[in-house]
Amino acid sequence: MGMDSLIGGSIWDEYSQKVADLMNNPKNMGEITEEEAKIMGGKLIVADFGAESCGDAVRLFWVVNTHSDVIMESKFKSFGCGTAIASSDVMAELCKYKTVDEAVKITNIDVEMAMRDTPDVPAVPPQKMHCSVMAYDVIKKAVSIYKGVDMESLEEEVIVCECARVSLSTLREVIRLNDLTTIEQITDYTKAGAFCKSCIRPGGHEAKDIYLVDLLREYEDEKKANSSGENNLSNIPFKEMTIVQKIKAVDRVIDDNVRQMLIMDGGDMEILDIKENGEHIDIYIRYLGACNGCASSSTGTLFAIENVLCEKLDKNIRVLPI
C-alpha cells in the first residue's frame, strides 16, 4: 500500500507521528562493514530475519565489544513496508549500548511502545503489529549468532500470542483462575488476540501450533470432566488435583466451615492462587469487607482457616493473606 493511499484515508490516523517520521527518515538505516567494526575494536554480527506471512525482511548489524558484550553500534537494512522500517529503526536504537544479554530481553512490545506518541495510544494498527515482532525476532537471531547457540534455545516458553508475547503457561493459568469462557475475556486479561489476531483461530496471516480457541476448548473439556467426577473428589489426594479441582475443594471446605463465621462479622475472603512450594501447598487469599485490616485476620482467623484446610485437605497447606 503506498503512502498516498494511506494519507487519503482514515488508516493514516492509526499511525503515530513517530512512525510516520521514521518511515521516511530512519536514523539507524545503513550497514556496517568488517573494517568499520575492526576500527571500533569490536566484532561484527550480521543477522537476517524474514516474515513469511508478509514478505518483509530485516538485516541487523551489530558491533559488539567481546570483552564487555556491549553493543557499541547498531544499524539495520529493511526490505518491506514503512512500518517495518520504523520498527527496525527503533529496534536498532534500543539495542545501542546494551549488553547482548540485555538486548535479548527487548520485546516487540518495547518496540511498539517506543514508537507511540502518547503511552496509551497504539503506534500502529493491529494488523501491523507483526512488524515489531519481526524486530524482536532478528534480535534473537543476532544473539544466537554471537553466542553460537540455536535461536530456539533463547525462547524459554511456548509463545501463543507473538504480538503481546503471552505464553502458553500464562494463558492456561489466567483462563483457569478467572474462569474465562470467551476470546474477549482473554484479551481483556492478557492482551492476547488484541493485535494481528492470528493467535485466535486458524486462518490468520501466520499459522500457529495452538490457538486461543483451543485453550478455551481445553478448559471447557476439563470443566466437564471435573463436573462429572466432582462427587468423587474426596477420593483424590489434594496434591494430585488439578488447579480447578483444588480451588473447588478449598472453596467447599471454606463454605462448610469458615465463611459463615466471616460473613457474620461483616467480612469474607477469596482464593487468589494455589501453588506448590517444596513440600508446602501455599494458598493465597484476600480478605474482604470487615476482615480486611482486622487484627485477628493475621492471627486467630488465619489460624482457624489454615487449621481446617490442613485437617480436611492436606496437612502441608499454608494460608498466605495478600
Q: What is the DSSP code string of 21-61?
A: HHHHS-SSBS---HHHHHHHTSEEEEEEEE-TTT--EEEEE
95's grid cell: 539495542
Is 217 in contact with 229 (CB distance < 8 Å)?
no
d(CA 200, CA 297): 43
Q: Which of 224, 250, 226, 220 is nearest to 238 (CA)?
A: 250
Query: Which residue among the candidates 54, 161, 196, 199 is catalytic per the annotation?
Result: 54
The residue whose grid cell reads 547498531 is: 74
131 is catalytic: yes
Q: Which of 241, 240, 237 is nearest to 226 (CA)?
A: 241
Collect all residues with Cβ–Cβ distance below 8 Å to 177 and sequence separation of at least 6: 243, 247, 272, 273
Collect all residues with Cβ–Cβ distance below 8 Å to 269 and sequence separation of at least 6: 254, 258, 259, 262, 285, 286, 287, 288, 291, 305
d(CA 52, CA 167): 22
222's grid cell: 476439563
**φ/ψ (deg, to 5) at 177:** -65, -30
81 is catalytic: no
Query: Which residue among the candidates 131, 161, 199, 291 is catalytic per the annotation?
Result: 131
Q: Kindly list the catalytic residues.
A: 54, 131
